[in-house]
Structure 1
Amino acid sequence: MRVSFVLSCLLFSSINLLGVQKKTLESVVVEENFQQYTFDEPVEVKISSNKNILENSDIAKSLLDIPGFSMARKGGGGSEIFYRSQGASRLPVVINNSLLHGGCGGRMDTPITYISPQNYKYAKLIKGPQDVRFSSLIGGGVIFDRGINRLNKISYNANLSALYGSFNRKELNLNALIGNEFGSVEIFGGLYKSGDYKDGNSKIVHSSYDRKNIVLTATITPTDTTAVSFSAEVGKGKASYADRMMDGSKFDRNSYALRVVQDIDKHQVKFDAYYNKIDHVMDNFSLRPAKKDFMISNPKRVIKGFRLENELNFNDFKIYSGISHYKDSHISRMSGKQNSQKSAQDVIKSKPFSKNADFTYSSIFLQGEKLYDGFGIFSGLRYDRVGIKFHKSKIDKNENLYSGFLRFENYFDDLTLYAGLGVAQRAPDFWEINGKVNGAKNGYKLKKETNTQVDFGGAYRGQNTSANLNLFASRIDDYIMLHYKNQNIISFNSDVIMMGFQTNAEILLYDMLKAEAGLSYTYAKNLKNTNGLAKGDPLPQISPLSFKFSLGIQKPTWFINSEIYANASQHRYKKDYGNVVGRDLGYSDKFWTLNLNAGVKYKNYEILLLAQNLNNTLYSYHNSKNGAAISTLDIAPTTRVYEPGRSFWVKFKANF
């Protein structure tokens, strides 16, 4: 009843208050390559292509620059990202308007495993359920997009970058574009490689990786109002894992996308069709010595679908409306334990793939923006029809998901204040339901989650200063948790509350000295007595208080910057309870690290330098997995997978 009432109110608001180009705070423009982010809207963070988050191949690590983000390390790949301590399906990752998932039942490959951020023009974070255009958002969403290339004359350019760093880390990136007013061809290519790193105690962490990808995009622009773009992407890779007894010997992704954009006066119609195929192999002998019991597992995942969106722009309001549909299919095959590497390879090749699961999502959404004198109103509604089919357990069911939001923004000369109410529902995902792969019991009985959340705060922009404060409080009914009980994993629903804040402030003095500080915290607890959890128990997998402070000098052709990043200890945990990402391992200790970065630019060339963890701290994040013992490499088990110790890299960039 409560959800129906809230959505009814949001529907009334959507019908009566849909609207236009909103007034937003002007972007903060700084000539520093390592500037973390800019605030364009109170509930979004937009990251352009020259920001550090799109410069660094370690997406999870670089996203920590945004207050509210945390991560979990597993080794050389598969890192998990969280916003406000919500990850996996609660924080969907969207690439060019299509959702991306990994194939492994144990989440060896997460979406960011297959993403090279340098291949995208911009990224965007949506905070909480304050948008309905891309998905139902429980914790928020991360959007990567290449946009459409539109040229007005014959043009050609190329960007080349090369990186070398500690632990034999090597990277090479190329981006080239050629075209004219009628079309263009663009190519992205990247090579990324590293050996095992050492932690703050100089202990080897099984974490090497080797990845490569290439993207070809062809765009036709026959008129000023029409654009058709087709892209093909091929990615290959392998990575060592410190948190388990197998490594990822194959991470292949083939993606194809078609985008058609038609402008009609001030309005626009956009159509996207996509096909994403994940082919993943894990084994216990390719990237580590094996003595016996040679094993291979080979899951595959195919996501294909389309999205159609209509954007209407009038003098005093803007409306987005659209539909989307996609099918997500999962198959796999396994060798079982074999006496030799060759036997395992022969068995896996001879085995056919078995169907595991199919998910279908059919969606419709409506979102609007209206600007009045001094304030704006934003609202949206979304409906998802979800079909879930697990072939082996003969699960076949449907879910109806409803999402919506209403937000009020009040504008002053240098200040925006906002308050919003959002509701988002999420169906249980593949990992929560799947009983065979990760041992979950009764997964098919799980109920859909319902998050009812309020967001409020403000963003300030002065001549040389900017600041923002985001606060949220939510109740999530039927929140899905996992109990890692002995060798079994039991999934169940409970009710929880969450609340917290993120804040960031920066100041520029004397047109050269920049200081910035950020702070974030999330508090959460369980509200029901269920499955060994008591009412009032801490919600598991919640990151502790985090803090950052940076101070640097920036000039038009050079900069130098120092940064301190710190996490408080986490006393609030529930051991052996968690989610599909992992479980609480117990208390986690506080830590701080010192980082330095600098850069110089001369004409079309740049050199960037970075030193991380200069104080060589032994540390790990609260949500990181435990380190597995690898006897054949003389690696002892660790409480958590520790982060790299003191490390350096240098990057050269050229623009032609």
Structure 2
Amino acid sequence: MNKHLLCIALAAASAQAAAAAPADDGAIDERIATLDALVVTGIAPVAALTFVTDPRLPRQPVPASDGADYLKTVPGFAVLRSGGTNGDPVLRGMFGSRLNLLAGDGAMMGACPSRMDNAMSYVSPETYDRLTIVKGPQTVLWGGGASAGTVRFEREIPYFDRAGARASGSLLVGGNGRNDQVLEASAGAPRGYARFTGNRSQADDYRDGAGREVPSAWRKWNADAAFGWTPDADTVLEASIGAGDGEARYAGRGMDGAQFERTSYGLRFEKKAIGGVLDEVSANLYYNDVDHVMDNYTLREPDPSGSMPMPMASNVAHRTAGGRVALTWRGERWDLIGGADARESRHSNRSAMGRGAYRAQPWTVDARLRQAGIFAELHAHLAPGRHLIGGARVDRAEAEDARALTGGMMPMPNPTAGQTRSETLPSAFLRYERTLADRPLHWYAGVGHTQRMPDYWELFSPKRGPDGAANAFAGVAPERTTQIDLGLRYGGKRVDAWVALYAGRMQDYIVFDYLGGGAMGATTRARNADADIRGGEAGAEWRPAQDWKLGGTLSYAWGELSDSGQAMPQVPPLEARFNAGYDDGRWSAGALLRVVASQDRTSQSLGNVVGRDLGPSAGFAVFSLNAGYRFDDRLQIAAGIDNLFDRDYSEHLNLAGNSAFGYPADPVRIHEPGRTGWIKLSYRY
């Protein structure tokens, strides 16, 4: 599909979710940026590089089963697919810890060495009140190293000005056995509250557009409770506890996820409107423990002709504990946020041949990771409509190699056993924003620099490190990213439009070489290489008449290893979304056309810890419809048909189908669901 035609088509279209006009003081609009329609098909920025939405709203395609699935509605995001759920989010071609992923302002680390259970696998979007995304290295408030961006799933404080109770819930049924239930209930009085959120979600294997069954079934649940003390409307002390579990089949992996057990504890304190220059204080502590089991016998039968002919299982766990404190000072023409954060995690594992035999094995700790940082971010109000925002932070990161042996089936003594690596990592950004007084136009220009410690998967998962290094732990250097961001937003009476562009240099970009070809069991080597990146997103919305909206968005990412000229691996192709919507306050209807170009800029020998480029991919177009009805302010119903014309297609970012499910030895991408209908009933009391 011709990329230039897509660009021309976008110029004639407009976005479903328009950018809100910035406040004159340049502060981020804290309102939830929802669409008038009952079904979300796209999200637009509410401020420079910042996207905010309510993840409880129905969205199309069929409402999300995990955090990564919901992020796909944000321009610039894609998902590395391996089955029906638990894909890995990718922003602008950037993957892994380049995205700072937070749930309840706490870090959630997956445990699988190949990221079968990435952090978003443990997030049920509908149990959170708000999703906030900042693209690029344009904030230092929520951790270092976030060269791609920061993602926060947040829960708000349910303050009660008088004794009472609130509740909301939803039921969803759909094709391929989809069946979801969500419940949120809270009760309280001016002095305190209790809140419960829970969900259950399941689906069977789906059929693609050609009628082939794709192993992809999942079942998962989450339950979280919070108890808060609110001596006044501006003060809260909250304790929380949570748990969850699930299972998932993966067409693109040699094992399935037989357990996704999560245990979470949290404590947070907030004090606002103090009244002096020091205006706010916030602090939180968190503890997240995941216990993940992968095996080849619970949700499938071992493949006697494959690389794992006998029943086997691997049990991995990742415990993360940390905290953050931030203080906000406000002057007549400035706001300053400063504070500190810290995090410590421990990864352990055990495995065995035979059904359930791993339970008799002892746990072995293989890695310990630590990080501590201090940060400050200043917003200076230079003049009406003129703002300067900047920040800096310094992190101290450590990684300890606790492995006595390495090498898989034939382990050898680990040359870096007991060694600790320490790095000091600075980050900073500066951005100028201007809102014109005589027209609804806002623009910004910023530059950011961040340094990132190699994460667990880059230090401990590769079988080899750079040439001359004992292993990846000894040889992979921190990654350094410098990026320029430019943007423009226009908010008119009938037309809204926005564009965000970026260009950067990544020094010591961490890339995986896949040696010896193959998929399962291929030798991987982690190394550093300089890379150039650029791209952007754009969107527009046109309201031709009352109750009607027409719109579209465009996303493009490009990357290249500057020393070799190879294409950066795992970069999604050009994508456009076109929307049409009608909403009269009671009835709503909408259509979504998603058009994806072919991608021929690939490097089949390169990839990341999850997988490698599988070669060029074909373009496709998928058309979906939705409709909704508001019975009243409390009761709503929404329905949709995804992939209306039953198109047979696959995403570019993909894992090869596994031979245990009958896929051929030559890499074959996993195809997406065919025509799928769904209906969702939501109630709020």
Q: State the SS of the aligned residue for 1:123.
A: strand
* Mapped partners of 1:218, 1:61: distance in 2: 29
Partner of 1:8 in structure 2?
none
How much does 1:112 deviate? Answer: 1.0
TM-fit CA distance, 1:53: 5.7
Aligned to 1:9: none
Within 5 Å, which residues of 2 pair with 1:300-311? 300-311=317-328
SS in 1 for 2:140: coil
Query: Structure 1 residues 261 and 42 mapped into 2: Cα distance closer, same or farther (>3 Å)?
Result: same
Alignment check: 8 A CA contact 2:143 2:341 kept: no
1:567 is displaced (CA, Å) by 1.0
Structure 1 pair 503/574, CA: closer, same or farther in 2 (3 Å)?
Answer: same
Which deviates further from its counterpart, 370-379 or 21-30? 21-30
- Superposed CA deviations along residues 370-410 of structure 1, whole A, max 9, x for unmatched, are 11222100000011100110111423110111110000001
1:464 shift after superposition? 2.9
Q: Report the equivalent of 1:114.
A: 122
Measure, in 1, the Cα distance between the counterparts of 2:287 and 2:73: 32
Match for residue 17 of structure 1? none
1:224-279 C-alpha deviation (Å, 9 max, x unpaired): 33211111111110000111121100001111110111232261100100000000
Distance 1:610 1:180 in 2: 39
TM-score, normalised to structure 1's length? 0.92
C-alpha displacement of 1:59: 3.7
Between the aligned partners of 1:226 and 1:67, the Cα distance in structure 2 is 36
Task: Please give the alpha-carbon distance, in whole angstroms, between the structure 2 residues aligned to 1:282 and 1:26.
Answer: 40
Alignment partner for residue 132 of structure 2, among 124, 138, 143?
124
Q: Per-residue deviation at 1:22?
A: 2.8
Q: Which amino acid aligns with 2:392?
A: L
How big is the shift at 1:619? 1.4
| Aligned-partner residue type, residue 396 of structure 1 | T
* Alignment match, 1:503: 538
Structure 1 residues 53 and 651: alpha-carbon distance in aligned structure 2, compared to 1, 3 A threshold: closer
Q: Which of these residues, 299, 315, 326, is aligned with residue 332 of structure 2?
A: 315
Instruction: Tell me which residue corresponds to 1:270.
Output: 282
Q: 2:649 aligns with which of 619, 636, 640?
A: 619
Contact 1:305/1:326 (CA < 8 Å) preserved in 2? Answer: yes
Aligned to 2:265: 256
Determine if contact 1:284/1:295 at 8 Å carries over to the other structure. yes
Q: 1:566 aligns with which of 591, 595, 612?
A: 595
Matching of residue 419 in structure 1 with residue 448 in structure 2: no
Partner of 1:628: 658
What whole-Å deviation, never above 9, does each CA across 1:53-109 have from its counterpart, x for those lacking one?
695334434322221111111113330111111121111211122122210001111
Change (3 A) 1:131 1:52: farther
Measured against aligned partners, the alpha-carbon deviations of 1:17-36 in whole angstroms (never above 9, x if no partner) come to: xxx95356797664212243
Matches within 5 A, 1:240-255: 240-255=249-264
Q: CA deviation at 1:525?
A: 0.9
Superposed CA offset, 1:205-226 (max 9, x none): 1100000111111111012332
Specify the SS of the correspondent of 1:586: coil
Q: Does 2:676 correspond to 1:647?
A: yes
Does the CA contact (< 8 Å) of 1:73 and 1:643 recur in 2? no
Higher relative contact order (CA 8 A, sep 6+): 2
Instruction: Give 1:593's aligned residue.
Output: 622
Give the CA deviation at 1:538.
1.2
CA distance, structure 2, for counterparts of residue 279 and residue 564 of structure 1: 39
Matched, 1:33 2:57: no
Distance 1:271 1:61, change over 3 A: closer
User: 2:460·2:472 contact (CA, 8 Å) conserved in 1?
Assistant: yes
Distance 1:21 1:511, change over 3 A: same
Give the AA of the match of 1:548: R
Partner Cα distance (1:40, 1:26) in 2:
9
In the other structure, the counterpart of 1:280 is: 292
Greater shift, 200-209 or 441-450, is seen at 441-450
How big is each residue's C-alpha offset from its partner over 1:425-461, in whole Å with a ceiling of 9 and x where there is no partner? 101111111157x666721211111100000011111
Distance 1:611 1:53 in 2: 11
Structure 2: where are the runs of 5+ without partners?
A: 1-23, 404-413, 517-521
Give the secondary-structure state (helix, strand or coil) at the position aligned to 2:359. helix
Q: Which string of whole-angstrom CA distances, capped at 9 and with x for unpartnered residues, describes residues 583-604 of structure 1?
A: 1110111011001111101022
2:257 & 2:550 partners in 1: Cα distance?
41
Give the structure-2-normalised TM-score: 0.88
What is the aligned partner in structure 2 of residue 99 from structure 1?
Answer: 107
Q: Is the 8 A contact 1:23 1:376 kept in 2?
A: no
Cα displacement (A) at 1:465? 2.2
Match of 1:408 among 413, 429, 432: 432
Query: 1:135, CA displacement in angstroms?
Result: 1.5
Q: Say which SS state the counterpart of residue 422 (structure 1) adopts.
A: strand
Choose the corresponding residue for 1:354, options 364, 389, 394: 364
Aligned residue pairs: how many?
621
Question: Which residue is 1:45 aligned to?
Answer: 51
Counterpart residue number, 2:373:
363
Q: Distance in 1 between matches of 2:461 and 2:385?
A: 53
Inter-partner Cα distance in structure 2 for 1:353 and 1:315: 56
Tell me the secondary structure at the aligned position of residue 400 of structure 2: strand
Using the aligned pairs only, state the percent identity.
30
Which residue of structure 2 lines up, in the alignment, with residue 328 of structure 1? 345
How far apart in 1 are the matches of 2:301 and 2:30?
Answer: 55
Give the drift of 1:554. 1.2
Partner Cα distance (1:652, 1:131) in 2 = 37
CA contact (8 A) 1:37 1:51 kept: no
Q: Is 1:232 aligned with 2:261?
A: no
- Alpha-carbon contact 1:268-1:312 (below 8 Å) kept: yes
Alpha-carbon contact 1:78-1:107 (below 8 Å) kept? no
- The alpha carbon displacement at 1:315 in A equals 2.1
CA distance in 1, matches of 2:64, 2:39: 10
**1:516-558 deviation per Cα after TM superposition (whole angstroms, max 9, x unaligned):** 1111111111111xxxxx2x22111111100110112111112
Structure 1 position 144 matched with structure 2 position 153: yes
Which of 81, 85, 105 is the matching residue for 1:73? 81
Query: Equivalent residue for 1:387?
Result: 398
Equivalent-residue separation in structure 2 for 1:257 and 1:31 (angstroms): 34
**2:127–2:182 contact (8 Å) kept in structure 1:** no
**Partner Cα separation in structure 1 for residue 162 and residue 180 of structure 2:** 32
Q: What does residue 496 of structure 2 align with?
A: 466
Q: Which residue of 2 aligns with 1:6?
A: none
Instruction: String of CA shifts for 1:582-629, please: whole Å, max 9, x gaps.
Output: 211101110110011111010221111011111212212111111112
Question: Within 1, Cα distance between the matches of 2:297 and 2:505?
Answer: 45
Identify if the C-alpha distance between structure 1 residues 509 and 26 changes in structure 2 by more than 3 Å, giving closer, same or farther. Answer: farther
Q: Which ranges of structure 1 fall in alignment gaps of 5 or more residues?
A: 1-19, 529-533
**Cα–Cα, structure 1 residues 202 and 449, in superposed 2: closer, same or farther, change >3 Å?**
same
